[in-house]
């Protein structure tokens, strides 16, 4: 697919809004469902849905990959759906509030910038400034909401590690031998992640008892399968090949705002002055980063030594 500004903007909007809502959906899902089995089933079902759609439009050969491509998809599947979203599901099942999880995950752009600097890249100063301003805004949001009590340390550690893993996978993917079709890559990544999460969950002692889960949890799970995985994850994987990583990473600034808004609408949470102030700073940071990072097609790393 072409990677024009309109398509990139549309895909970003999907990731911004849909993923902002998934934190609430995950929290509702794990009220009854075991975290790893529900997350694994979510990704596996999403792959089973998306795969036949791709075959119907391009034949079975569309899903054919070579060994290097399969291994790359397996690595990204481990870093993104398993360690990225799987650990978030476990943390929320342990009592981590969805809004605060979204705030911690929003450190993704900062991690990405760190990986870029360590690898020898020199991002534009405006990009670095945008990331730092966004981090300040997130700190304001975090302080305004407060941390502690029902947010245990192990859950905090899981979410921080999840954020670092997701950022590393996002930074690494353009440097691997990936399938040219980003949607095919998404099918393999979700299928591999689903199998891993289901296997680990069953080995950990989780039990699958569908009759015991409420309609509310099933509805949240179905939403995560269709919108969180098939739609938004596919859009994200496509963006990693069609736009600059710093532009794609701005989703982590917007998702907390969506999560806070949903908390207000669904759970009647107060929207305080620190939340408004922090949100304004975050939006300003997004504008700054987007204005300095032009969407572009994936090019060889050797041709982008000063990519910002």
Residue 300 has pLDDT above 50, yes or no: no
Indicate the DSSP class of residue 101: H
Give me the mean pLDDT over the 287-301 stretch: 55
- CA 25/CA 223 separation, integer angstroms: 7
Q: pLDDT tens digits, residue range 8-51?
A: 888 999 998 998 899 889 989 999 999 999 999 999 999 999 99
Q: Which two tokens stand for residue 263?
A: 């908390």
Residue 215 has pLDDT above 50, yes or no: yes
User: How many CB atoms neighbour CB 250 within 10 A?
Assistant: 26
Q: pLDDT tens digits, residue range 161-186?
A: 998 899 899 889 889 999 988 889 98
Residue 301 has pLDDT above 50, yes or no: no
Q: Which two tokens stand for residue 145?
A: 């909401």
Say which range, 117-121, 203-207, 295-299, has the weakest mean pLDDT: 295-299
Q: What whole-number percentage of the chain has pLDDT above 70?
A: 87
Kindly report the CA angle at 139 between 137 and 145, in degrees rounded to 5? Answer: 105
Q: pLDDT tens digits, residue range 257-271?
A: 788 788 778 766 566
Angle, helices 125-145/98-105, rounded to nearest 10 degrees: 160
The structure's pTM equals 0.80
- CA 5/CA 160 separation, integer angstroms: 32
Spatial contact of 105 and 255, defined as CB atoms under 8 Å apart: yes
Q: What is the pLDDT of residue 242?
A: 80
Q: Which two tokens stand for residue 253?
A: 């600034």
Spatial contact of 94 and 280, defined as CB atoms under 8 Å apart: no
- CA 99/CA 17 separation, integer angstroms: 14
Spatial contact of 190 and 46, defined as CB atoms under 8 Å apart: yes
Q: pLDDT tens digits, residue range 61-75?
A: 889 999 999 999 999
Residue 304 has pLDDT above 50, yes or no: no
- CA 131/CA 29 separation, integer angstroms: 32
- CA 25/CA 222 separation, integer angstroms: 9
Give me the mean pLDDT over the 72-92 stretch: 94
Confidence label for 298 from pLDDT (cuts 50, 70 and 90): very low
Q: What is the pLDDT of residue 265?
A: 81
Residue found by looking up tokens 């999460």 in the block: 197
């Amino acid at each position: 697919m072409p990677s024009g500004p309109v398509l990139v903007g549309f895909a970003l909007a999907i990731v911004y809004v849909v993923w902002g809502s998934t934190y609430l959906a995950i929290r509702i899902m794990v009220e009854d469902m075991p975290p790893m089995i529900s997350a694994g089933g979510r990704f596996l079902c999403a792959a089973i849905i998306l795969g036949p759609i791709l075959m119907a439009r391009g034949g079975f050969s569309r899903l054919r990959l070579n060994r290097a491509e399969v291994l790359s998809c397996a690595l990204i599947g481990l870093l993104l759906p398993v360690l990225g979203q799987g650990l978030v599901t476990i943390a929320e099942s342990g009592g981590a509030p969805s809004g605060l999880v979204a705030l911690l995950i929003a450190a993704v752009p900062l991690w990405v910038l760190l990986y870029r600097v360590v690898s020898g890249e020199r991002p534009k100063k405006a990009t670095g400034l945008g990331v730092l301003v966004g981090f300040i805004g997130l700190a304001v949001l975090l302080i305004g909401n407060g941390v502690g009590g029902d947010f245990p340390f192990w859950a905090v550690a899981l979410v921080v590690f999840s954020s670092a893993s997701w950022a590393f996978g996002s930074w690494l993917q353009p440097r691997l031998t990936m399938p040219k079709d980003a949607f095919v890559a998404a099918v393999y990544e979700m299928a591999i992640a689903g199998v891993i999460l289901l296997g680990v969950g069953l080995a950990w002692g989780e039990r699958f008892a569908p009759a015991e889960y409420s309609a509310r949890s099933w509805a949240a799970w179905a939403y995560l399968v269709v919108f969180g995985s098939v739609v938004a994850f596919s859009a994200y994987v496509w963006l990693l090949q069609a736009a600059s990583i710093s532009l794609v990473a701005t989703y982590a600034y917007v998702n907390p705002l969506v999560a806070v808004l949903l908390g207000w609408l669904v759970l009647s949470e107060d929207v305080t002055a620190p939340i408004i102030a922090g949100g304004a700073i975050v939006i300003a940071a997004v504008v700054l980063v987007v204005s300095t990072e032009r969407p572009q097609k994936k090019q060889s790393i050797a041709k982008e030594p000063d990519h910002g």
